[in-house]
């Protein structure tokens, strides 16, 4: 299926801190011409938002080129994919995309406030023609041919506040209401380990859910009963944008993370080249 390419009507800026570095960041999204794609600009270097430029996937998806890195891009990319934005120049001041409230919702609201415009060029979905999967240990990402874009996630954690969760996001669902509000999360037992590895320095109770911490009551703090698995699907949606083209397929992710997502996108790209 073809549709008109889309960009912003005007620029929009976001400010905040990076969840892992704790550093201040300023992010400005600029309208871009037809066929440019989504491109980050930092320190004079252009970094396309495609899988070829992924440099690390430890707790987040990070892109880099010529020694310049833009970190934690997945929530922003999920918002762009969810709102069908094809062409954009993203200017980043700071080491990391700001975490905002831990979800993609602030990005969606800012983008919609700036306005979205259709362009002269067209973009065509990539229709997967045969099953495809990648797996590692107990983690799996599987794709099947489908008539539309459908994502399903399954996670299981020993925490009684999370446990086993499954959720399916269908192509006809509203991204802004069904996935965008789901926030990043972790567990009280992980906090010290993250800090020891130099991660999570910008995390706080305003931008992350911390399960099993003293006094935490899930029923009073969650936006969705199954907010963790929705956020995992949000991460998957952001990483799938790295394919560089809208996808038409059913994708199932079980206990998967950014590393497996990106490997899956690489495999998808190989299939896309075969079908070209």
Q: What is the DSSP annotation of the chain?
A: -EEEEEEESS-EEEEEE-TTT--EEEEEEEE--TT--EEEEETTEEEESSGGGEEE-SSS-EEEETTEEEB--HHHHHHHHHTT---EEEEEESSB---TTSSSHHHHHHHHHH-EEEEEEEEE-EE--S-EEEEETTEEEEEE--SS-EEEEEEE-S-TTT-EEEEEE-TTS-HHHHTTTPPPEEEGGGHHHHHHTT--TT--TTT-EEET-TT--HHHH-SSTTHHHHHHHHHHHHHHGGGSS-EESEEEEES--HHHHHHHHHHHHHHHHHH-
pLDDT band for 52, please (50, 70, 90 cuts). Answer: very high
> Does 250 score more than 90 pLDDT?
yes
Residue 195 has pLDDT above 80, yes or no: no
Average pLDDT over residues 177-201: 81
9-36 pLDDT per residue, tens: 999 999 999 998 899 999 999 999 999 9
Q: For residue range 58-90, what is the model confidence (pLDDT) as tens digits?
A: 889 999 999 999 999 999 999 999 999 999 999
Catalytic residue among 20, 75, 231, 258: 258
Res 213: pLDDT: 86
Active site residue 258: yes
pLDDT at 176 over 80: yes
pLDDT the model gives residue 274: 86
């Amino acid at each position: 299926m073809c549709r008109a390419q889309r960009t912003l009507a005007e620029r929009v800026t976001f400010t905040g801190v990076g969840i892992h570095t704790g550093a201040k960041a300023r992010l400005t999204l600029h309208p871009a011409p037809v066929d440019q794609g989504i491109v980050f600009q930092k320190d004079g270097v252009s970094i396309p938002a495609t899988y070829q430029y992924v440099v690390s996937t430890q707790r987040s998806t990070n892109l880099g080129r010529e020694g310049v890195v833009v970190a934690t891009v997945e929530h922003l990319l999920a918002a762009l994919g969810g709102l069908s934005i094809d062409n954009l120049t993203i200017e980043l001041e700071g080491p990391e995309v700001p975490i905002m409230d831990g979800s993609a919702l602030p990005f969606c609201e800012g983008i919609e406030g700036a306005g979205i415009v259709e362009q002269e060029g067209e973009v065509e979905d990539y229709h997967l023609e045969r099953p495809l999967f990648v797996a590692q240990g107990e983690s799996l990402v599987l794709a099947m041919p489908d008539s539309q874009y459908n994502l399903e996630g399954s996670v299981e954690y020993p925490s009684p506040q999370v446990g086993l969760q499954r959720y399916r996001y269908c192509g006809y669902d509203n991204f802004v209401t069904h996935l965008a509000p789901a926030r990043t999360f972790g567990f009280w037992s992980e906090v010290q380990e993250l800090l020891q590895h130099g991660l999570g320095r910008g995390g706080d109770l305003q931008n992350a859910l911390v399960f099993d911490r003293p006094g935490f009551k899930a029923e009073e703090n969650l936006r969705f009963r199954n907010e963790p698995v929705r956020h995992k699907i949000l991460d998957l949606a952001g990483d799938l944008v790295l394919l560089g083209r809208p996808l038409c397929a059913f994708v199932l992710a079980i206990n998967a993370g950014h590393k497996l997502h990106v490997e899956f996108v690489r495999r998808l790209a190989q299939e896309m080249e075969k079908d070209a």
